[in-house]
Amino acid sequence: MTKAPDKLTKAEAKAELARLAAEIAGHDRRYHGEDAPTISDAAYDALKRRNDAIETRFPDLIRPDSPSHRVGAKPSEKFAKVVHARPMLSLDNAFSDEDIEDFVARVRRFLGSKEDDEIVFTAEPKIDGLSASLRYENGVFVQGATRGDGQEGEDITANLRTIKDVPLRLHGEVPKVFEVRGEVYMTHRDFFALNKRQEKDGKPLFVNPRNTAAGAVRQLDPAMTAARPLHFFSYTWGETSAMPAKTQWDMLQAFKDWGLKVSPLIRRCKTTAEILKFYDDIQSKRADLGYDIDGVVYKVDRLDLQDRLGFISRSPRWAIAHKFPAEQAQTVLLDIDIQVGRTGKLAPVAKLRPVTVGGVVVQNATLHNEDEIARKDVRIGDTVVVQRAGDVIPQIVRVIEEKRPKGAKPYQFPHNCPVCHSHAVREVDEKTGKEDVDRRCTGGLICAAQAVERLRHFVSRDAFDIDGFGGVYIETLHDKGLLKEPADIFRLAKKPEALDRALAERRAELSAERRAREGKEDVAKKSKKDDDSKLVENLIAAIDARRRIGMDRFINALGIRHVGETNARLIARNYPDIDAFVAAMEGETAVAELSEIGGIGEVVAQAVKDFFDEKHNRKLVDHLLKEVDVVPLAAPKIAGSPVAGKTVVFTGTLEKMTRQEAKARAESLGAKVSGSVSKKTDLVVAGPGAGSKLAEAAKHGVEVIDEDSWLKMIGG
């Protein structure tokens, strides 16, 4: 006879909780993963009630894989940061059959394979959800994180534990450390049921399953996540102490054996024709799948070939996402709004009569630039076709001219900034004589729009990522004269009273405006002094938490034209520290030096040089460096790599691998690959036909080896 929880000894309770965790996990797997339950709902609930009762009596015995984690834990004040052991990278996109044919050809060309060499690909639906990483140690789920910027995400462990597709313990032979990566999503059925409950309760309706799932996972209270019906598909991995298979396909079979849910639609394809047929088949089934997908992903199946192909910038060479065509709808263009970005670009935005496109209500769409407006002859009052490009960014496809109202006039693009009224010009490239497609404000930092937008960018997630420091605070503090340049953000810690006063004044202004709109009299309000003090305290704490910043984030935060997070990371990898980088930008060879970095062209190099040539920009950087500590970008953690952190130059003809593959392999081992030899070079790999670089190597005393020695050094 089963003992009551209050009659159990501690040893008996421990054994019983272990049995219940395993039994309930098995039922979860059969119900959610296999759609084959073996007990009734009532019997399942009885098992969970017994588990809860024992845990209540013995709270110190609660297990990491306890079923009670499914209903949520203590709410968090904010998410902690998680640095990914292996970056969570994004995929390049393809939009046509020709793009896929080019992708397959690039793979073959990179590997140097012959026409009749078989290269197998896996093909799988691209789930439209929120990417997440699950870390298992000794088979137990210990940490979950969002993708974030690919390098650093947010700790959402407690929330992911509430999702029944996420096993709290894997079964079978599992590596000691294994990170599973996949997608959190919501089914159409669950989404519509949730919106019915929202409507019944008089609450706002959710827009689409993807946003609803993403919002649920990022709730500070795990109980809120537990209340949403979420699911998880596993499809790849991150850090692992051992590899259980040699192909993508067999890795996914291992996932299933461990109790993870994997898409049942994944297939192996041996030819481009098979790949494209799979795409057509999945597209035809898209509406009946019961959850959102926005394309198909193809991956080279053999893991050794994936290793050879490696990565370029933020995406793997061995995989690509074949996106579905954008959905379209018709609506009326009500106005064209000109917005000024942080680089001074005048960006035209179409203000539309609201219309639903692909399940999302669209009111704004990009018009790109004035040439695009002229080419499409877009006029205010026109009926236009709108689509969400890649199912994300709304854009105007074309005008339906037969519906054009009489008297509609061609749009005249402004030649002055709508914010500061400075001239807005289209720059001309001195070398090519071509005019830039974008018109830019010449006001620079005197333009309030540019100053505010640059500051917004500075605190954004991919830059300094200052928690809670949103656009409202930036606008308010800029208007109050407390925030003119990035360094001012860190100086705010020394001015808590001024910060408190500025925020209080702004709130009072907004309150007065609201009362004026509503026609209400000015009545006394309860003091918010305590709330303001707490707000100021939190803001200062968030600012101080980012006084130590990675070099790539620092460079990205500067807002240099053409330099986003990818180029910032490429640049940061090639300089030992921020002082060396800034000093190099003062030299006459700065453009040439930057152009040697793989992925950084002359246009980007010149933009970086131009930025540092401006005295006010250099002053801005100097002020900022007095406030923050910039950490050099660490080389990839490559255990046992003989070239990690070294600068390598390849010259001459390589006979056993392509130059592209050699470079990718070196970078994957933590080396920096340069296009020229200097005193900073550690190693030159020379093949037949090597020329002046050998002389430079001799001049600087740099070690030179041949291709065979290089392959021996890196292990083949």
Among 157, 180, 159, smallest CA distance to 234 is for: 180
Q: CATH classification of 5-71 is 1.10.287.610, yes or no?
A: yes
The yes-or-no verdict on residue 320 having pLDDT over 90 is yes
Among 655, 597, 165, smallest CA distance to 608 is for: 597
Q: CATH classification of 647-714 is 3.40.50.10190, yes or no?
A: yes
pLDDT of residue 283: 87
pLDDT of residue 275: 97
Q: Residue 524 — pLDDT band, cuts 50, 70, 90?
A: very low
Specify the pairing of strand 703-705 against strand 293-300.
unpaired
The yes-or-no verdict on residue 300 having pLDDT over 70 is yes
The yes-or-no verdict on residue 523 having pLDDT over 50 is no
State phi, psi for 159 to the nearest 5 degrees. Answer: -70, -45
pLDDT of residue 430: 59
pLDDT of residue 689: 79
Region of poorest pLDDT, from 451-455, 516-520, 633-637: 516-520
Nearest-angstrom CA–CA distance, 475 and 451: 10
Which helix (H) or strand (E) segment holds residue 385: the answer is strand 383-389
Task: Please give the average per-residue pLDDT across 387-394, as a whole number.
Answer: 68
Q: 3-state class of 163 per DSSP?
A: coil
State phi, psi for 205 to the nearest 5 degrees. Answer: -85, 150
Q: 3-state class of 104 per DSSP?
A: helix
The whole-chain average pLDDT of the chain stands at 85
The yes-or-no verdict on residue 189 having pLDDT over 70 is yes
Residues 442-478: tens digit of each pLDDT: 766 568 888 888 898 999 888 999 988 877 788 888 8
Which helix (H) or strand (E) segment holds residue 340: the answer is strand 328-340
Longest dimension (CA), the chain: 90
Residue 496: Cβ-neighbour burial (10 angstroms; 0-12, 13-18, 19+) = middle
Nearest-angstrom CA–CA distance, 522 and 513: 11
Residues 527-565: tens digit of each pLDDT: 455 555 677 888 888 899 999 999 999 999 998 888 888
Tell me the Cα Rg of the chain.
Answer: 29
Q: Residue 4 — pLDDT band, cuts 50, 70, 90?
A: confident
Degrees (nearest 5) of the Cα angle 430, 436, 441? Answer: 105
Max mean pLDDT range (75-89, 149-163, 168-182, 328-342) = 168-182
Cβ-contact 212, 129 below 8 angstroms:
no
Q: 3-state class of 548 per DSSP?
A: strand
Nearest-angstrom CA–CA distance, 702 and 559: 36
pLDDT of residue 161: 93
CA-to-CA separations, 139 to 31, 237, 254, in angstroms, rounded? 21, 14, 13
Nearest-angstrom CA–CA distance, 330 and 357: 9
Q: Residue 218 — pLDDT band, cuts 50, 70, 90?
A: confident
Among 236, 375, 381, smallest CA distance to 316 is for: 236
Write down the pTM of the prediction: 0.56
Is 609 known to be catalytic? no
The share of the chain scoring above pLDDT 70, in percent, equals: 90
The yes-or-no verdict on residue 194 having pLDDT over 80 is yes
6: tokens are 């209050």
Nearest-angstrom CA–CA distance, 268 and 302: 11
CA 714 from centre of chain:
31
Q: How many residues does the chain have?
A: 716
Domain range list for the chain: 5-71, 93-323, 328-403, 446-544, 548-631, 647-714
Nearest-angstrom CA–CA distance, 72 and 81: 20
Cβ-contact 292, 127 below 8 angstroms:
yes
Beta-strand (E) ranges in 442-598? Answer: 548-550
Task: Please give the average per-residue pLDDT across 608-620, as a whole number.
Answer: 86
Asked if the domains at 446-544 and 548-631 fall in one CATH topology, the answer is yes
Nearest-angstrom CA–CA distance, 308 and 656: 12
Fold of 93-323: D-amino Acid Aminotransferase; Chain A, domain 1 (3.30.470)
Catalytic residue selected from 3, 14, 48, 126: 126
Fold of 328-403: OB fold (Dihydrolipoamide Acetyltransferase, E2P) (2.40.50)
Residues 426-436: tens digit of each pLDDT: 887 656 778 88
DSSP 369-407: SHHHHHHHT--TT-EEEEEEETTTEEEEEEE-GGGPPTT
Nearest-angstrom CA–CA distance, 290 and 419: 47
CA 107 from centre of chain:
25
Fold of 446-544: DNA polymerase; domain 1 (1.10.150)
pLDDT of residue 467: 84
Which CATH architecture does the domain made up of 548-631 adopt? Orthogonal Bundle (1.10)
Among 619, 627, 549, smallest CA distance to 582 is for: 619
- Tokens 């070099």 correspond to 551
Residues 644-683: tens digit of each pLDDT: 878 888 888 888 887 777 877 887 787 877 767 777 788 9
The yes-or-no verdict on residue 1 having pLDDT over 70 is no
35 sits in the region (left: phi over 0; alpha: psi -120 to 50; else beta) called: left
Which helix (H) or strand (E) segment holds residue 668: the answer is helix 659-668
